[in-house]
Amino acid sequence: MTALRDGEIFEAGDVTLQSGAVFPSLKLVYKTYGALNPARDNVILYPTSFSAQHTDTEWLIGPDGVLDPSRYFIVIPNLLGNGLSSSPSNTAVPYPEVTYHDAVAVQHRLLAERFGISKLALVYGWSMGGMQAYHWAALHPDMVERAAVVCGSARCAPYNYVFLESVKAALTADPAFRDGRFTEKPVAGYRAMGRVYAGWAMSHGFYRDELWREAGFTSLEDYLVRIWDTTFARRDANDLLAQVGIWQRGDISRCEAFGGDLGRALAAIKAHMLLMPGATDRYFDARDNEGELGRLVNAKSAVLHPIPSLHGHRAGNPVGNPRDQAFLKAEVAALLAK
């Protein structure tokens, strides 16, 4: 198992997946922040996003942050395939097809078996984390009081799917990809993937207005080289492909309970729902959330508040971006006050 970096392991044992395959000795790595109150109802679940591990996302946790550990018990479960929880890079057997439904099922076991938690004050997630938040709200409607879906959606839209196909094509064009897997680090593939991502993750306005200068980059090429050429090289390439697969298969209705009926799945949600797309996000398009909003007919409340930012998809994870951080903090505070 990869170094946990202060995380802990939940040994889930042999887990039967949605596909019917059995994942032997599945492990979920997680980290907690703050203290669980006696009623066990001050819990915020904060799932990870694509290629991220808990150390990448814990920056927004703090007394003055978006999520306050002095008031809430915050749990970050690392998504399957991210290199900490069971992933191609740390699993001896051939890695099976995994879904968000599988991930949520194991996360639910973690909360119930390790902590005795049956209520969630909030499920908060960005990107793939936002898709998990949506899955939680639909699959456990009596458990989830609130959900904040930040730059995410109830299912992977066709346009989003095509974006991910370009990511896979860039990565797997590297000669290190042979017989369906990577046998060594795809140096050229990582760079190609980063260059594809750079165009999709940020907006037209971000590049037009040269907003990369605000972070200290001296030229566009300097920004691309230092941010995007190496951003994915820190992760195992087989792990990246596994997570792309989870993302592309993402659909809250793709299970026995809902039979592929998205309207039925959305109608199952009872939580206070906050949909926060990035106004200029190119692959989690705000129009998908607009279409979902009117179908959340049984939610306690449902609002659509796009992040007014030129930072595209990255507006939902605004490290070093005080304006977007302030927007997220205010929106989450208002949600938690409900």
Measured on CA atoms in the order 101, 105, 108, 110, is the torsion positive or negative?
negative
Helix axes 187-201, 237-248, angle to 10 degrees: 40
The dihedral formed by the CA atoms of 161, 166, 171 and 173, expressed in degrees to the nearest 10: 130
The answer to whether 102 is a known catalytic residue is: no
Whole-angstrom Cα distance, residue 73 to residue 283?
A: 32
Beta bridge partners of 16: 22
Q: Which of 253, 288, 313, 324 is catalytic?
A: 313
Q: Which of 68, 239, 251, 281 is catalytic?
A: 281
Whole-angstrom Cα distance, residue 6 to residue 279?
A: 35
Of 179, 193, 266, nearest to 232 by C-alpha is 193
125 within 8 A of 146, measured Cβ to Cβ: no
Whole-angstrom Cα distance, residue 21 to residue 286?
A: 35
Whole-angstrom Cα distance, residue 30 to residue 10?
A: 8
Q: Can you say how many angstroms the Cα of residue 278 is from the centroid of all Cα atoms in its chain?
A: 14
Q: Report residue 189 as tokens.
A: 């593939």
Whole-angstrom Cα distance, residue 267 to residue 303?
A: 15
Q: Report residue 108 as tokens.
A: 């639910």
The answer to whether 281 is a known catalytic residue is: yes
The answer to whether 219 is a known catalytic residue is: no
Q: Which of 51, 87, 89, 127 is catalytic?
A: 127
Whole-angstrom Cα distance, residue 107 to residue 303?
A: 26
Whole-angstrom Cα distance, residue 154 to residue 160?
A: 12
Measured on CA atoms in the order 218, 222, 226, 227, is the torsion positive or negative?
positive
Alpha helices in 118-272 (DSSP H): 128-139, 158-172, 187-201, 204-208, 220-223, 237-248, 262-267
Mark residue 112 as left, alpha or beta (left: phi above 0; alpha: psi -120 to 50; beta: remaining): alpha
Catalytic positions, written as ranges: 127, 281, 313
